[in-house]
Structure 1
């Protein structure tokens, strides 16, 4: 019998993280207290979160000639790297500044993430089927074409409309089953479409509100989930952690309320550690956290 698989056509970035007292203003030079290199990218973060939350995950993406370190890190995460392609463009990377409160500013270079196309992905696209969730974001190329191929083969499509671009997001709405946005992206999408998020033609809409929790809108139903208190160190990747964890638990259990609560716990634990993918908690860590909360 076919088993459900989450196939994430996702970005792979090397995150260069600089920790500062505060974020720089325009034209200002600041001295960093710390520097660290981590694995990141919205797609990779989501894949790690889904895999650590109990899902069967394929990460599908590309790295450049400089990608050996990235591949070693991904294998250490336990990800299936058999669909990571080698291309001539440099591996995607990001410059991230983080202040003492854990807030960040991020600049990314797409690099190899922007090389996904039919020539690379033909065999993977042909293998999609109803047993799959396909996950997409705006940090890679070929997003619309992948969504079309997935729907033509009966797969379910989850789309994170970030970094937000109305020209990317609006055409996706007729091709997806789950839309994930934060509150700012939801507002921009409403302006672009002239409709509230509740009126969009998407079965499920997941809206994250940072410290104010999250909401799932499914048809006429709404589920609210409060955030868990956290000692914030770094918010980089928190939204990706939430989506990956939510999708994994929804896929495994079919219980949206459980998936929301689990995802909120995973995100709370993730922001208490530096980095993005490396900070994503294990299933056991999240389960233990939730057990403590239930007993408190």
Structure 2
């Protein structure tokens, strides 16, 4: 199975601070760094490092060659990426001393991913291949529809959760990858009511499978037939940026290679745990060998 990720490509401008800036306040950053990021790029790299044949579709601006190079160096096929005029997408990220983050996204070239482009790229894929989508580029609903016409599997990470998702036929999705906030928003339930989220989502989308990540508590997989839970792995937190994307890529890689859902969860949780121990989003994604060495020590 090949995986096509139609997703964002961002330059992450990261500011290390003692604490997050408050309204009307000016603070001095302890450090400034730039990293390659974007949920699309991160998830493609995680998929490729987990051993899946991964293709990235998306757009960069005149400042985006570093983003393409990082994907290529990580084993991702990049020949379908568009090179456009203007700036690439970028993110402004604060990381505090506890390793928590908050993020502002600027769309840049990501906002120019057109229906025509998506249609042309999807024609290169076959029944049984998977398309992965997030909510940082436009026309994701169109991508779901066209992928289903080609009998592809559709995986969706609805992040950031906003009104654009209302324009998508989520009944087309085979795999939802969600955190508590996203799961609660889709289900119309409190993010703390995990059981309520499970019940509501399986009622709303009975043909889909769901993964709900719970931070340091681990993750749960569920559909109308089965449920699997995986506890989190305790590690020192350096930077949580990209940990969810690492989990997503490793989980879907397990699905693509035919692993059981329980094993997919176990590997993905360990990869996500390793990611929080490193600085940067894409830079923190572990190699497959690291993940299995970590699991072997548990």
Question: Is TM > 0.5 for Structure 1 vs Structure 2?
Answer: yes
- Provide TM-score, normalisation by structure 1: 0.94
CA distance in 2, matches of 1:172, 1:70: 31
Match of 1:84 in 2: 81
2:203 aligned with 1:199, yes or no?
Answer: yes
Match of 1:281 in 2: 286
CA contact (8 A) 2:61 2:86 kept: yes
Match of 2:266 in 1: 261
2:174 aligned with 1:177, yes or no?
Answer: yes
Instruction: Output aligned runs, 1:113-132, within 5 Å.
Output: 113-132=110-129
CA distance 1:6–1:54, change in 2 (3 Å): same
Instruction: Output aligned runs, 1:58-69, within 5 Å.
Output: 58-69=55-66
Counterpart among 100, 104, 107 of residue 103 in structure 1: 100
2:183 aligned with 1:163, yes or no?
Answer: no
Instruction: Output aligned runs, 1:243-258, within 5 Å.
Output: 243-258=248-263
CA distance in 1, matches of 2:215, 2:133: 21
2:222 aligned with 1:233, yes or no?
Answer: no
Counterpart among 9, 20, 34 of residue 12 in structure 1: 9
Counterpart among 131, 149, 172 of residue 146 in structure 2: 149
CA contact (8 A) 1:161 1:169 kept: no
**Superposition deviation, residue 69 in structure 1:** 2.1
**Superposition deviation, residue 128 in structure 1:** 2.7
* SS of 2:188 mapped into structure 1: helix
Match of 2:217 in 1: 212
Counterpart among 220, 228, 239 of residue 223 in structure 1: 228
CA contact (8 A) 2:119 2:143 kept: no
2:53 aligned with 1:56, yes or no?
Answer: yes
**Unaligned residue ranges in structure 2 (runs of 5+):** 190-196
Q: Which runs of 4+ in 1 moved over 4 A?
A: none
CA contact (8 A) 2:36 2:66 kept: no
CA distance 1:119–1:203, change in 2 (3 Å): closer
**Superposition deviation, residue 167 in structure 1:** 4.1
* SS of 1:158 mapped into structure 2: strand
CA distance in 1, matches of 2:221, 2:166: 19
* SS of 1:253 mapped into structure 2: coil
CA distance 1:167–1:69, change in 2 (3 Å): closer
CA distance 1:267–1:163, change in 2 (3 Å): same
